[in-house]
Structure formats: structure tokens, C-alpha cells
Structure 1
């Protein structure tokens, strides 16, 4: 259908139309009203001008297609910038949505990673740290004996960690979760001063300034000793000894009925005139050791003497445990 000339208003009834229809406008129409139940495409084309196309009376899920050089200012009094739009079957006006404006990408977060605090629990050959950090997903660290050369920058520390054998225990990396990281620095020397170098890394790879924490290891010693009698009617005692060291160590023990005399660690290691005595090797990687003493006389009061010796032949003080 071709329409020429000018008109203020034009109504076209497309009822019962089931085939595609083509409307060609070469003139000027201020308002074009399309009505009826149409279930196919409606192509509006030409080189004329249509002020507004009104589809509020059109049903049947028709597709309105604008093409050619036709100048259509509005559709249902809304922008006519879409070349094709679906006309709803429900009654009432249908205003096509205006094309959305392109979104402006948000600027990436400006991370400022920082190590804000480091607290520690000292032991003889290992130290536990809690490292607090902001804007960070990871930390890099290394422990260096005081007076020796350490990394001079955060970048050098990261390289230091990446180039190191992490099984050494003094160097490593750890994830930051909830604003902190828990690490254990191992393979240290007892009663020695160290510096822990730390840098925090942001999600974008940015590194914090280099953070330094001075700390010292403790003297090698037995922290605690306890015993358990598995069978109240038996003659066996299970003894648990906890050290402040993860390295392998010899444990010497002696059972005596002398409740008043003083004994030193060398007595426990070398004398053989106790009621019972013995030794065993605590494996590395754990601070705790368990051993059994058999043939304990029921109803007898004893003192259990325990001494430990580290891999450098350093003997701890004697730990005395009353046993009855």
C-alpha cells in the first residue's frame, strides 16, 4: 500500500490481516493510527515523514518495522529510534523503550596495602606470628638474624621468597583472610635475635612498604609434663612431655622414690642408680612426645625427672613431676 500527499491524521484498520503488510509513505502524515487484530509484520517505509505512529489500538503481537528513508519522529509518543519493535497484543498504549545509554566503566579500586601490626609467641626454634594487614590478599616474609643482610625493599622481598627454598621454614608467603595472616617461622636458633621482613600484596599486585619486626627466640626448655594411668589396676603410666621446640631432641627420664634431693639434668642423663630410667628420641616437626613407663609399684610415691637435649647438645633444666 502506497500513500502520498499530506494529512493531519490517518487511520488504517488492519483487522484479520495474517500476512505481512507493507505501508509506503511518500508524503507527510502528522498522526498515523494503526488498529485491528494483526498477527504478522507491518513494514512502514518510504521517503516521506510521519509525525507519530499510534499502535494503541493494534492487537495480535504484530511486529512494527521502520525502514527506508522514512522519517518517523515518534511511536506512541516515544522515541522512534528502534528499527523494529514488537507490538503487544494487550489493549492500551505500548511505548517502546528508549535505547539505554552506554554504561561508563567504573574506575578500578585504588588499593593501598599495608602491614599494620605483627605480634608473636616465642619458642626455642620456632615462632608463631599474627600479621595484620589492610587491602591485602597475601603477605611475603623472611626471618633474618639480627646484624645480617636482609631484603632492602618490598619488591626484593617478593623476589627473595620466589627464589627461596620454602622448606627452609624461615621464608614464605601466606594468604590474608579477614585482615590477618597466621604464620609459623621455623628452623630458628634458640636465644637469638632476629628481624622478620614482611610486605603485603593487594589484589592488583601492588606491594606495601617493607615492614620490619624485631623478635627473639626463647631458651630451649620443657614447657610441661603430665601423666595418665590407662588402667587403674595396671602397672603402666603414660607420660606426655611438651617442649618449646620442633626439632628432634633426646628426652631423658628417671623415676625415683627420693622425694627431697635435688637432681640436675646431667644426673638424669647419666646416672643409672634410679628406680627406673631411660631415654628416647623425639621426632622433628612436633613439640610433643609420649612414652610409657612399665612395672610401677602400686601405692608408691615417686618423682619423675625429665630432661631434654637438643641437636646442639644443649640440656634443658629438669622438669619434676610428682607421680603416685
Structure 2
């Protein structure tokens, strides 16, 4: 095979074992370097912000609840949180590559959209491969448990098993199946949006009325997104894919069912944690005296009051001036 033909096969993410394995390794190498770079950049950014302490504490609580993990210190938790920022970038790009096929964009040909979606799926699997190897090295070679626990490693293993066992076979046998592309988009794109929204929410000052309103909206949006992406959307796509796999590839269906069951334990934690947040912030009363000079939000009532005060001061100054004029 000529080098130009092989390069085209790589660009198209052709459904052969050789091409798929090479792309998987390339993606693993790519995210091995990108994730820590993004993590350092995010940490450098947050270090300069006044909400740093709150961000670290809220992210720590969220990670402990969702992943059942333990950290030696808040500093280690902060480091892990920033690394998750790199995973957010990976999920965003992976989801974006699946978008044209999942939503049937007319200006992108089906062959190109299919290739992009296959690359998007491999992006997830590549990150999972390097993350799994990195965690194995940290825990079993270096014996470093500062950012890991047995429970969190088990949940992460369940998560990674899905992508690592299904992406290459699905790319090879069902690489042009739009249902498959939609499933990958839900797993990556929706998760990326939810994670970004949560990170933004960690920066909000809940003593301010407008920030608390934002938090209430975000917590509802994140819960609905995760519930749809991880439960409703997953079930709808599965109901259409299962008959196809049952009639054409029973072995692949068996693997898919097994890893999907494992994945649900992690999905349960994610959804439960976001449900608790939604209920917590829904019950939180809005501050009555939150409209201060330092706030960015001014309601209509406050504007009217300021206007009345300004007019009263102008009238008073005018009366004083007239009084002095008459006296003279």
C-alpha cells in the first residue's frame, strides 16, 4: 500500500484493525500531553481569581460524591480538578466531531461526517487508554494513592471499559451508523456541556441574588442534560441498535450489554449527585439584601429609587440656590 493511500485511510478512520489501532495510539499520545497542559493553564487562571478557595471546596465535594474518591489534601483535589479541565476539552472536541453526523448537517457529506464521528469516538477511547495506563503506573508502580481510591478506580475502570471494548469494533462494523454517532455524541458532548456548566457554577457568589438565580438554573439544566444523555437518550438509541446487533453481531451485542451494565453504576452516581445539587439550590432562598453597589445586577426598583434620589437632590439644590438669591 502506498503512503498516500495509507494516509487517506487514516484520515477517513477506515474500518480496519491496523488503521484503528494506529489512530487509537496516536490519540492516546495526543491526550497524554494535552490533558496536563490544559490542567496547568486552568490552575494558573484560577490561582489569580478571588473565588479560588470556593472553587476548590465545591469541586472537591462534587468529585468525592460522583467518583467516590479520596484525596490526601485539598491541594491534590485541586490538581485533579484542573486535570479534569483537560478531559472537558477532550469530551468537547470528541462530541463536536460527532455533531455533523448525529444532527445530519446538510453541508457535510455523509462520508466526511462518518469519518469525523469515528475520529470523535477514537478520541474518547484514546484518552481512556492513556488515562488507564497512567493510573496503573501511579497506583501499582509508584504506589501513589494521593489522587485515587479503590472505589474511584473501580468506577473509572467501568467507564473506560465501555469505550476501549466497543469503539474499535463499532468503527469497523458500524462506522457509518448514525445511531452509533448519536450515542457517542451523548456520552461526550452532553457530558462536556454539563461539566463546563458546573465549573462555571463553582465561581458564583451565592450571597448575590443574580448569581444564586444562575446557580438554580444551571443545577436544573445539568441534571436534565445528564438524565437525558445517560438514561433517556441511551435507552432510545439502544432500543434501535439492539435488533441490528442481535441479527448481525451477537458477540458485539453481548460485550455492549455487559459494559453498559457496568457503566450504569457510574451514571447512577453522576445523576444522583446532580439531583442532590438541584434540590439543594432549588430550596435555597434568594437573598433579600443582595443588590449592593458591588453587584453587577440592578433590578428595576433599585433604578427607580436612585432616579428619585437624584431628582430630589437636584430640586433641593435648586431651592437652596433660589433662597440665597432672594436673601441677597
TM-score by length of 1: 0.20
TM-score by length of 2: 0.20
Bigger radius of gyration: 1
Q: Which has the higher strand share?
A: 1
Compare relative contact order (CA 8 Å, sep 6+) and give the higher one, 1 or 2: 2
